[in-house]
Amino acid sequence: MASATLIEIQEIARQYTIGTETIHALKSVSLNIKKGEFVALMGPSGSGKSTLMNILGCLDTPNYGDYILNGINVSDMTDDELAEVRNKEIGFVFQTFNLLPKSTALENVALPLIYAGIKQSVREEKATQALNSVGLGNRVDHRPNELSGGQRQRVAVARALINNPSIILADEPTGNLDTKTSIEIMGLLEEIHSKGNTIILVTHEEDIAQHAHRIVRMRDGLIEADYPNTDIKSVSPRLSALEEKGDDFENI
């Protein structure tokens, strides 16, 4: 049985006006993504990749065209309506982690649940479960400056998962990490995908994109290529081995 369509973008365009110049960031882009896919979105600077990412993440809206997310047209929503969709449907993982520096790992992970109006005891229980799921069950009271880069990104991943979103949108999630830690974070995303989550990975790194099952390449505001990845690079077995060792995994 074929998977249902989660994202349907129909001929969207996005323009920006800077002084007297009009920048055509996206030019009639159409794209479908099914539930459970792992897609890498790639492109050089100025390709429209970041603009498309912002629209997919409901951080921006197109000037023209339609964006259907999980059966709902979000193209013309107000900022408040988009904020509600983001909180319910999309989990974000950013290159710079975007953690609150004075809050603990538990408090950072629980933050989306505050916006959702969930009571404190339930928030703490769910946040603890999410941190356990990324191997940080013994770091709940640590603040970001007490964690390694990889651990901070794991907190960000746990936060992204907390509301059971339709999409995990990972924007350059390994950009601030060393090679070894990058591999382990990609292994974590693979494991999340294996549980049925839809992941959209935005990256300019070819080796990182090879973990995805489908690659979409952009150039000059258009989709240049869209094809299945026939040479998927998987690191989940390495992650499992580290989990068994324990100490190495905790230091990532």
How confident is the model at residue 117, as a pLDDT?
Answer: 86
Domain extents for the chain?
36-63+78-250
The structure's pTM equals 0.88
| Among 196, 226, 222, 185, CA closest to 40 | 226
Q: How far apart are CA 89 and CA 92, in angstroms?
A: 10
Dist. CA 186–CA 174, nearest whole Å = 8
Which segments of the chain have a pLDDT < 50? 1, 238-252
Q: Where are the alpha helices (DSSP H) in the chain?
A: 49-56, 79-89, 105-115, 120-133, 149-161, 179-194, 206-209, 236-245, 247-250
C-beta pairs of 144-152 under 8 Å, 24+ apart in sequence: 144/97, 144/99, 144/100, 144/101, 144/105, 144/108, 145/101, 147/105, 148/181, 148/251, 148/252, 149/176, 149/177, 149/178, 149/181, 150/177, 150/181, 150/184, 150/185, 150/251, 150/252, 151/252, 152/97, 152/99
- What would the pLDDT profile of 1-10 be if each residue is shown by its tens digit? 457 999 999 9
| pLDDT given at position 231 | 86
Q: Residue 2: what pLDDT?
A: 58
Task: Write the pLDDT tens digit of every residue in 181-212.
Answer: 998 899 999 999 998 999 999 998 899 999 99
d(C-alpha 143, C-alpha 123), whole Å: 18
Domain 36-63+78-250: top CATH class: alpha beta
